[in-house]
Structure 1
Amino acid sequence: MFYNKIRSDIMGLKDRGKIKWQGAFIMPEHLKMLNELKKDYYRQTKPILDEYQIEKIESKICYAIEFTFIVKITTWEDGYEWHYEGLVYRLDPILKVIYLEKQTEDYYIIKIRFEDIVKVEVKE
């Protein structure tokens, strides 16, 4: 330690730290490509639900509406799973959409399509 301090004082050498280990130049196109590769690495295939699982999801949603329980809905969108939690505000059977009321400081409503739903949990 003492030797390094004397050596840097004598030589007038300033250490650049982490900068010296980074690449000299990365073009924006290369950076974008690396980010897309990282994003694709974590992508998942959409789980295929059979009739029994779809019926079970529908019954849980109806149960939560009837007794006004909070629901945690897991959806699949573009290769990733997203989790939403709140009260089921309304069902639209024609458009096949669930309106979920988010339970935060500022209440807002999220539209979730039936075909995107993978899993439903009812919190009693």
Structure 2
Amino acid sequence: MAIRDRGMMKWQAAFQLPELAKTQRDFWRYTERQAKPIIDEHEAEEFDLRIIYAMEYDHSVKLTVWDDGFTLDITGRIHYVDPITHELRIEVMLGGVERVSFDSIVRVKVVN
């Protein structure tokens, strides 16, 4: 006689409160948040020089962007620097264009 296992159904009774599970996920996500790093004038000038260099010689850049407590990396070629809206337009490898605000940039690295 074979044993019939109900799989994940046997654990469903423990998760009858979806609101509780969502609250716990949100809490753990909130505890992983980081404060926005402070960028001084020297670092901002270094970022500008790296961006100008990458645009002039058509190199890719790897930007680390701060977004609501978390950092994410964007890699691509800088297409346009918009001084009016204070944004960079970056052609990502998938063919799309990302818009990144100057204020959210935490790190700039030139990739050959």
Residues 19 and 51 of structure 1, relative CA distance in 2, 3 Å threshold:
same
**Higher mean C-alpha deviation, range 84-93 or range 34-43:** 34-43
Q: Across the two proteins, how many residue pairs are aligned to each other?
A: 111
Are 2:103 and 1:115 equivalent residues in the alignment? yes
Which of 31, 38, 51 in structure 2 is aligned with 1:48?
A: 38
Unaligned runs of 5+ in 1: 1-8
Cα-Cα RMSD: 2.0
Following TM superposition, by how much is the alpha carbon of 1:24 offset from its aligned partner in structure 2, in angstroms? Answer: 3.2
Which of 54, 75, 78 in structure 2 is aligned with 1:64?
A: 54
Deviations 1:11-37 (A, max 9, x none): xx9666776567534312111101101
CA distance in 2, matches of 1:75, 1:25: 36
Q: TM-score, normalised by structure 2?
A: 0.87
CA distance in 1, matches of 2:87, 2:97: 12
Match of 1:83 in 2: 73
CA distance in 2, matches of 1:21, 1:71: 46
Q: Report % sequence identity.
A: 35
Q: TM-score, normalised by structure 1?
A: 0.79
CA distance in 2, matches of 1:40, 1:52: 31
Unaligned runs of 5+ in 2: none
Which of 18, 26, 32 in structure 2 is aligned with 1:36?
A: 26
Larger radius of gyration: 1
